[in-house]
Amino acid sequence: MRAALPALLLAAALATGGCSALPVMIGFIPGAPTYFSSMFDGTTCAYETAVDERSTNQQMKDALLEGHIKAEFIKNKKVDPVGVTPYCYYGKVYLVGEYDGEEELREVMKIMDAIPDKKRVIRRLYLSEASEDGSTTRNYLLSSQIRARLMADMDVTSTPVRVEVVQRDVILLGVINDAEERRKIIAQAQQVEGVHKVISFLKHPEAARAPQAVKTELASKTKKKPAAAQKKSAQPPMTLAESNRTDRGR
């Protein structure tokens, strides 16, 4: 059975659209080796894995978590799996897309509450534009233009960057080299005509690895005053200037 698993996954990937379909299928197979997703569609998946700044182990954990969520969305008849897309980085889940109504939104959050091993859920969800024609085409065109600009920019590693456009808002996700690259990616998205707002969920390893270490270091530089000094610096009892006035019943 183990020997046949790679062949089955490969056949399923080819039948359902290649690399992008793998996380969904992996979600149905508890404990499946998520690194298989980097073996298929060599033009994209292998390169994405190579340039991603996360460790291989972290990529595997995030892919498995993302696949699990997608699988739960597909199984639930009240949720449109095309409308709401989960992305996972360092155990954090980012939900991006549109929902049809409050009932679907509540169902999405109910599913997320039951998902184990997640650190946090960050939502960027919009009420669906049911009355606006051509919104899907418009979002696709904006996304294509942004991707084209990123690919043309030699200072930007565009492959690991995921670009979602919802109601003319651009949502950027991915793990990139550093803060300077993030600034350039955001600037490229802002220059596309028709973009309403750019929301960045781009991370770089220095920020993602140990934000707590920075806080600890800063806290250690603040020396505590001795107890005696604290008493001296304490505010003396106040003497009210109006204390000699008659009480007006307040």
pLDDT digits (tens, 9 = 90+) for 212-231: 333 333 444 444 555 555 55
The vertex-60 CA angle with 170 and 62, nearest 5°, equals 40
What gap in Å lies between CA 106 and CA 61, rounded to an integer?
26
Q: Is the overall model pTM greater than 0.85, yes or no?
A: no
What gap in Å lies between CA 33 and CA 72, rounded to an integer?
19
Q: In the prediction, which pLDDT does 133 show?
A: 63
Low-confidence ranges of the chain (pLDDT < 50): 1-47, 210-223, 233-234, 236-250
Q: In the prediction, which pLDDT does 77 show?
A: 93
* DSSP annotation of 37: G
Q: In the prediction, which pLDDT does 68 show?
A: 97
Q: In the prediction, which pLDDT does 52 show?
A: 75
Identify residue 57 by its one-letter amino acid code: N
